[in-house]
Amino acid sequence: MKNSFFKQLKRRNRTEVKSHIPFRLNFLFFIVFVLFLSLVIRLAYLQIIHLDFFEDKVKWGQKNIVENNAPRGMIYDASGQVLVGNRSKPAVIYTKKAGMTAQEILDVSRQLTQILAIKAEDLSERDLKDYWLADENNLAEARKRLTEKEKVNDKGALISAADEYQLLTEKVTPEEIQFDEEELKVASVFKRINGAYALTPVIIKNEDVTPEEIAQIGESVAEIPGISTGMDWDREYPQGDALRSILGTVSSEKTGLPQEEAEEYLKKGYARNDRVGLSYLEKQYEPVLRGTKSKSEVTINQQNEIEKQEEITEGKKGQNVKLTIDIEFQKQVADIVRRNYQQLIYNGKARYSDGAYAVVLNPQTGDVLAMVGLSHDPETQELTDDTLGTINKAFVPGSVIKGATVMAGFEQNILPQNDVMIDEPLRFGEGAGDVKSSLFNQYGRVPLNTVDALTVSSNVYMMKIVLKMMGVEYHPGMNLPERTDVYDTLRGTFKEYGLGDKTGIDLPGESTGLAPTDFYDEKGNLKPGKMGNLLDLSFGNYDTYTPMQLAQYVATIANDGVRVAPRVVEGVYDNNESGGLGEPVEVKETKVMNEVKAKEHISVVQEGFYNVVNGTDYRRTGRALQGGKYVISAKTGTAETQIPNPDNPNDVIRLVNSSMVAYAPQENPELAVSVIIPHIQDESDALHAVMTKEIFNAYYDYKH
């Protein structure tokens, strides 16, 4: 009984399990059917109802962002006149699609030369070979010229595509790259497009684009995807050549980034064909003058063709730079220098002269008010602008630097206030050179205090200061001690005034002048005359200085011993609504380089400079500056120089450098001036003084 019961129970459980299986399976089939039906409905919804939408999605498949250059900022003078601006001009622009083959570039180039008047460029041999190989038939022909050995490397593997192409260029014959004018035009366009990055706009033509050509481009957009018209710009100079050399230059779209700095610019987000400042202010203020590029969204279809381009971010013109120089005053100073120098030429005294240079500074702020350089070609007598010569050409200046020698004496505590010393011809023993004397006193003995020494320009007083620095007193026939260290001491003081040191001007490439240090020969023996040269240094007849250094030197004296850096840039300015000079973004602060030592004695030098012009001593050297619109303080300079005689290699021609440094007025000085005229026959015309006086008068008229 019991066993029978359990058998029946097991049989019933198996029956119940079997009855549940078909139900679960049927339910699973139903779920699958519902999901499959949903998928069919969804596909029908996408492929039938929204077919057009998704076809467009495929057609307009890829979107990229491209950038276009914005106009460069402008450079203004102190009064707001434009010195460097932008001249807009229409341009034809091509945006190269991604993956474009050389044959496709060739085809586009041919199309463009059919509708544009293109000028053939100067093309290199490699450019011409690239153009020839762009044709697929030519490429195939060149490949046939490769030997089996050339096709593989040393390991027997096929060479890379780059190595193969290099070999192919070598297989192109000179005869195959002899093209007529029309082909050279196509090759010029090919070179431009071929050298561009994908999706980077490249200018095809930006000179003399006609309305007809613009219309033709508009009609050809469908046939030549990527072509468009736009605006380009050139730098223009409304004031002509005035200050051109310090303003600098900008690269063209064709030349793009300078090769030696390309990697650095690319890291900053530049494209290879971007225009950048190449020199001076354009380069120095590149981050400011550079505009903010506009951004456009470019849509590309399945054929990698540009179908649509829409601007999404507007570009912004670069910020502007404003100078401290008023162009009208600059032109007046340039006219003063040129007119007087031409008088020297007319008088026959500038036959061997390099030119003439003048710098005008505000001694309290360092503002450069004018900087004029005039280069003279002795062969042709041609005069050309050499503004940069004021910072990168150095000359022996003569006695203008005697104020710094006096201050060296005060610094070393060897010169009591207004100490009296005897001006007399100095005769030294072997190795010191000829007899050394002052120009005004070549035979007698004249007692002078410090102010008098500056007034009459005593060379001997300065030499005796240096003798004291050597630790000796003068006596006839003495030998000079071997104290080359005094060179460093004296030059150290000179540098406090900017002589022989960087002035700190906000322009690149300034020279510090020449300060010889070759005191000893290869055996360690003191070279003959070197200690005598130290005496020459004391009155400005040894080291060389730039006109800008001389201007900073006299400005430091005028400014009570505070040396400030010259500056040509007053500030950076934004654009106003019309694109002109707007509100200041950054105003350059006056930069104090240093204060001179022994400042408490600077008044002695100031008094001496005042007496050079306005004193009562008949021997004073600056009388020609009297009677102007300012009461001027000044120091004159004459340095004896020589050049090889072009007519006799065994002879020299003795010349002089004529110089002047000056400031005015005595209290609260407004301007400091340096003038130097190198290598003239003589300075009997005193044109360095005439130039200086006229510059002060011109500034007075400009200010009032």
Residue type at 426? L
Query: pTM score, two decimals?
Result: 0.83
CA distance 154 to 148: 12
Instruction: Give me the mean pLDDT over the 123-143 stretch.
Output: 94
Residue 282: is its pLDDT beyond 70?
Answer: yes
For residue 423, list its beta bridge partners: 446
Instruction: Give me the mean pLDDT over the 274-286 stretch.
Output: 93
Phi, psi torsion values for 595, nearest 5 degrees? -110, 140
**Among 92-96, 167-171, 360-364, 685-689, whose mean pLDDT is lowest?**
92-96
Tokens 């590029």: give the residue. Answer: 293
CA 52 to chain centre: 57
Q: Is 305 exposed, middle or buried (0-12, 13-18, 19+ CB in 10 A)?
A: middle
CA distance 614 to 610: 6
Instruction: Give me the mean pLDDT over the 268-277 stretch.
Output: 87
- Closest C-alpha among 510, 519, 472 to residue 491: 519
Residue 648: is its pLDDT beyond 80?
Answer: yes
Q: How much is the pLDDT for 494?
A: 98
Q: Is 120 exposed, middle or buried (0-12, 13-18, 19+ CB in 10 A)?
A: middle
Q: How much is the pLDDT for 683?
A: 86
CB 250 within 8 A of CB 280: no
Which tokens go with 489?
Answer: 């001491």
Distances, alpha carbon 94 to alpha carbons 207, 224, 228, 266, 467, in Å? 15, 9, 6, 21, 74
| Residues constituting the chain | 704
For residue 701, list its beta bridge partners: none
Q: How much is the pLDDT for 578?
A: 86
**188 is a catalytic site residue:** no
- Identify the residue with better confidence: 50 or 372: 372
Residue 5: is its pLDDT beyond 50?
Answer: no
Q: Which domains does the chain have, with CATH numbers?
A: 55-94+211-217+236-338+570-584 (3.90.1310.10), 100-197 (1.10.10.1230), 395-561+596-620 (3.40.710.10)
CA distance 258 to 260: 6
Q: How much is the pLDDT for 28?
A: 72
For residue 94, list its beta bridge partners: 202, 227
Give the pLDDT band (50/70/90) at residue 549: very high
Share of the chain above pLDDT 90, in %: 70
Give the pLDDT band (50/70/90) at residue 349: very high
DSSP conformation class of 160: P
Instruction: Give me the mean pLDDT over the 496-520 stretch.
Output: 96
Give the pLDDT band (50/70/90) at residue 6: very low
CA distance 543 to 358: 19
CA distance 542 to 104: 68
Q: How much is the pLDDT for 55?
A: 56
**CA angle, residues 431, 436, 437, in degrees to nearest 5:** 170
Q: How much is the pLDDT for 64?
A: 66
Residue 15: is its pLDDT beyond 60?
Answer: no
CA distance 229 to 442: 78
CA 374 to chain centre: 20
Instruction: Give me the mean pLDDT over the 44-59 stretch.
Output: 60
CB 249 within 8 A of CB 278: yes
Q: How much is the pLDDT for 9?
A: 46
pLDDT in tens, 149-174: 888 888 888 889 899 999 999 999 99
Residue 4: is its pLDDT beyond 70?
Answer: no
CA distance 299 to 308: 5
Q: How much is the pLDDT for 62?
A: 63
Give the pLDDT band (50/70/90) at residue 19: low
CA distance 383 to 373: 10
**CA angle, residues 651, 653, 657, in degrees to nearest 5:** 150
Instruction: Give me the mean pLDDT over the 674-682 stretch.
Output: 96
Q: How much is the pLDDT for 373?
A: 97
CA distance 12 to 162: 83
Give the pLDDT band (50/70/90) at residue 302: low
Share of the chain above pLDDT 70, in %: 90
Instruction: Give me the mean pLDDT over the 453-471 stretch.
Output: 97
- Sheet of strand 62-68: strand arrangement: 62-68, 294-300, 306-313
Which tokens go with 459?
Answer: 């060379």
CB 366 within 8 A of CB 569: no
**Among 3-7, 156-160, 381-385, whose mean pLDDT is lowest?**
3-7
Instruction: Give me the mean pLDDT over the 523-551 stretch.
Output: 96
Q: Which residues contact 558 (CB under 8 A, 6 or more apart)?
A: 363, 606, 633, 663, 669, 672
State the DSSP H helix or E strand holding residue 521, giving kind and residue range, or none if neither: none
Q: How much is the pLDDT for 315?
A: 74
Which tokens go with 101?
Answer: 């083959």
Three-state SS for 443? coil
- Closest C-alpha among 583, 577, 693 to residue 630: 693
Residue 518: is its pLDDT beyond 70?
Answer: yes
Give the pLDDT band (50/70/90) at residue 395: very high
Residue 20: is its pLDDT beyond 50?
Answer: yes
Residue type at 439? L
Tokens 């120009």: give the residue. Answer: 439
DSSP conformation class of 436: B
- Identify the residue with better confidence: 439 or 39: 439
Residue among 353, 399, 457, 658 flagged as catalytic = 399
CB 287 within 8 A of CB 315: no
- Closest C-alpha among 123, 174, 164, 126 to residue 144: 164
CA distance 48 to 40: 11
Q: How much is the pLDDT for 97?
A: 82
CB 681 within 8 A of CB 662: no
Q: How much is the pLDDT for 434?
A: 72
CA distance 587 to 467: 47
Phi, psi torsion values for 662, nearest 5 degrees? -160, 160
CB 689 within 8 A of CB 621: no
- Kindly provide the residue ranges of all beta strands, DSSP E only, lying in 516-627, ordered along the sequence: 562-564, 569-575, 581-587, 592-595
pLDDT in tens, 182-234: 999 999 999 999 988 888 788 999 899 999 999 999 888 888 888 988 888 88
Rg (CA), the chain: 40
CA distance 428 to 434: 8
**Mean of the per-residue pLDDT values for the chain?**
90
CB 225 within 8 A of CB 137: no
For residue 306, list its beta bridge partners: 300
Three-state SS for 75? strand
Residue 665: is its pLDDT beyond 90?
Answer: yes
Instruction: Give me the mean pLDDT over the 101-118 stretch.
Output: 94
State the DSSP H helix or E strand holding residue 699, giving kind and residue range, or none if neither: helix 687-703
Pairing of strands 75-76, 320-323: parallel
Q: How much is the pLDDT for 3?
A: 53
CB 360 within 8 A of CB 370: yes
Give the pLDDT band (50/70/90) at residue 704: confident
Instruction: Give me the mean pLDDT over the 46-73 stretch.
Output: 65
**Among 103-107, 231-235, 292-296, 666-670, whose mean pLDDT is lowest?**
292-296
Tokens 């005869």: give the residue. Answer: 175
